[in-house]
């Protein structure tokens, strides 16, 4: 199931329908994955509507890759996500770094003040640069 996913737009929040299209999975699958993966917790607002942030879209794409492309079971995918030492490839490690950076950016946007990046450095990237890097990581993971 090696399909090319669309680029993630530079938005703060995504509806479940948008995430479904961006990640190539049905909405009911996303709701099920919320129960199975504790890291996946979209914000819920009026009427229990789900709003996903950028880092959650990246996480869903990683889960999709583990389940659909690499053939892991739900339990195996959960272990891969929680056990950072078991990452098998540089592409997966790069993905985890990008995921952490996306979480920092989301936290910064929520707090309204700068968040200090982790040990990777203080270099800030433009949205276009982040998009280019994410596309590169996606190509590496799909290769």
pLDDT (tens digit per residue) in 113-132: 554 444 444 455 577 777 77
pLDDT for the residue 107: 67
Question: Is 93 domain-assigned?
Answer: yes
pLDDT at 121: 43
Residue 114 belongs to some domain of the structure: yes
Residue 5 is assigned to a structural domain of this protein: no
Residue 53 located in a structural domain: yes
Give how many domains the chain has, as a whole number: 1
Does residue 128 lie in a domain region?
A: yes
| pLDDT confidence of residue 116 | 47
- Whole-Å CA distances, 37 to 9, 40, 59, 64, 79: 24, 6, 10, 12, 10
pTM of the model: 0.61
Report if residue 111 sits inside a domain. yes
Asked if residue 54 belongs to a domain, the reply is yes
Residue 102 lies in a domain: yes
The residues of the chain scoring below 50 in pLDDT are 1-2, 85-86, 90, 115-122
CATH number assigned to the domain comprising residue 97: 1.10.1660.10
pLDDT of residue 76: 93
| Domain housing 25 | 14-142
Start-to-end CA distance of the chain, whole Å, equals: 12
Q: What is the pLDDT of residue 140?
A: 76
């Amino acid at each position: 199931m090696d399909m090319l996913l669309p680029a993630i737009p530079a938005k703060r929040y995504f509806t479940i329908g948008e995430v479904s299209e961006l990640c190539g999975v049905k909405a009911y699958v996303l709701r099920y994955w919320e129960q199975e993966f504790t890291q996946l917790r979209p914000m819920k607002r009026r009427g229990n509507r789900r709003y996903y942030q950028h880092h959650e879209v990246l996480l869903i794409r990683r889960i999709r890759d583990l389940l659909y492309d690499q053939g892991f079971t739900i339990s195996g995918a959960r272990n891969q996500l929680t056990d950072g030492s078991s990452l098998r490839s540089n592409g997966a490690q790069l993905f985890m770094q990008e995921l952490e950076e996306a979480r920092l950016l989301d936290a910064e946007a929520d707090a309204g003040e700068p968040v200090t990046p982790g040990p990777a450095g203080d270099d800030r990237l433009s949205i276009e640069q982040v998009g280019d890097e994410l596309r590169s990581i996606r190509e590496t993971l799909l290769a």
